[in-house]
Amino acid sequence: MHTEGRLASLDILRGLDLWFLLMVGPLLHCVLGMTGTSGAAGSFIRYQMDHVVWSGFAAWDIIMPLFLFMSGITIPFSLSRYDRTLRPGKDFYLKLLRRFCLLFFLGWIVQGNLLKFDIRQFHPFANTLQAIAVGYVVSALMFVHLGRRGRLIATLAFFLAYLSAFVLTGMDLDPQSNVAMLIDKAVLGSHRDGVIWISAHEWVFDESYTYTWILSSLNFVVTVMSGCFAGEILTEGGRTPERKKAVRLLAVGAVLVCLGLAMHPFFPIIKRIWSSSMTLYSAGVCYILMAVCYYLIDVRGCRWSLAWLKCFGMNSIVAYFVGEMLLSVHVPRIPLLASVAAKVVLLYVLMRIMYKYGCFLKV
């Protein structure tokens, strides 16, 4: 295993995000479904362990933004040579294209129904891996071709372009008629996730599906670039103290959270369309989480017993892909809780084995 020079806090935070998504979440959902937990405590846990129906933000809603944010943090670490001494060549663009295609392909398998071999059921853009693909590729190109000021201006342009689309259409925030949803319906049509097929030739949009992807990609880029800016803080050399880097991350996070909350009354925090206020708010939360992890783990050296999360964090694409595939498999004649627990254990054992023998998917 080649772990030298890696940011331990980033690997552990990424592992924690995956652990929450693939292990804690499924088990808690099973337990809550079996026990029918009620009361204030039960309602609070249920709310935090699921995506908010429309406006608002729960703990479960930070999972996807954190994935995008952390993919951005890696950019200054992995591409710094292009930013300072080297211009990108053919190999760089081929590697970027390979990453984009692989993430989209894995997304098609996980959530795009590719393996059903039914073109009617195929969803080309409907998964977190694909959002990462779009955000990372655009952000990487911005990093190697633009200076710091240029990157800030370009990121602001993406943010304002998304916001302008809503402003120019009257700030319609109806789940089915907002501009982001209308674009998805027009472009993806019957291949949009959430379509219901009535017959071999007839289909309708499922109005319970309210996620958007195409216009939201503008803010996917903003989220990844937010992580990239955090990575630039962490890679600052010279005499910048490590503690000061943590303070900067925390300060930026607090400002972004406040900006997101200030914007909420005018453009609500809606994760399903990746609204402007949600983009700011979630990026702020990501900065704060990264600041805390960086200070405790990399500055103070407080690893405790969290190092095991590296087996997920250092192989995040494999963990996400295998975990989603395992959890989607129905096992008949086995109690649901036992089935989920067995899948979680199997995933953990697989990731530990891959970590032990240095088997990492390099995208």
- Candidate from 1-15, 82-96, 199-213, 255-269 with smallest mean pLDDT: 1-15
pLDDT digits (tens, 9 = 90+) for 126-158: 999 999 999 999 999 999 999 999 999 999 999
| pLDDT, position 5 | 54
- Candidate from 262-266, 287-291, 296-300 with smallest mean pLDDT: 296-300
Tell me the domain boundaries of the chain: 8-356
pLDDT at residue 4 greater than cutoff 60: no
pLDDT bin (cut points 50, 70, 90) of residue 363 is low
Q: Please give the full DSSP string across 25-84, using - where no structure is assigned.
A: HHHHHHHHHHHT--HHHHHHHHHHTS--SSSB--GGGGHHHHHHHHHHHHHHHHHHHHHH
| pLDDT, position 199 | 87
Mean pLDDT of the chain: 91
* Average pLDDT rounded to a whole number, residues 171-189: 97
What is the value of pTM for the model shown?
Answer: 0.93
pLDDT at residue 209 greater than cutoff 60: yes
pLDDT digits (tens, 9 = 90+) for 218-239: 999 999 999 999 999 999 876 7
Sign of CA dihedral 47, 52, 57, 59: positive
* Average pLDDT rounded to a whole number, residues 173-185: 97
pLDDT digits (tens, 9 = 90+) for 309-346: 889 999 999 999 999 999 888 777 778 788 888 988 99
| pLDDT, position 145 | 92
Three-state SS string across 150-176, please? Answer: HHHHHHHHHHHHHHHHHHCCCCCCCCC
pLDDT at residue 84 greater than cutoff 90: no
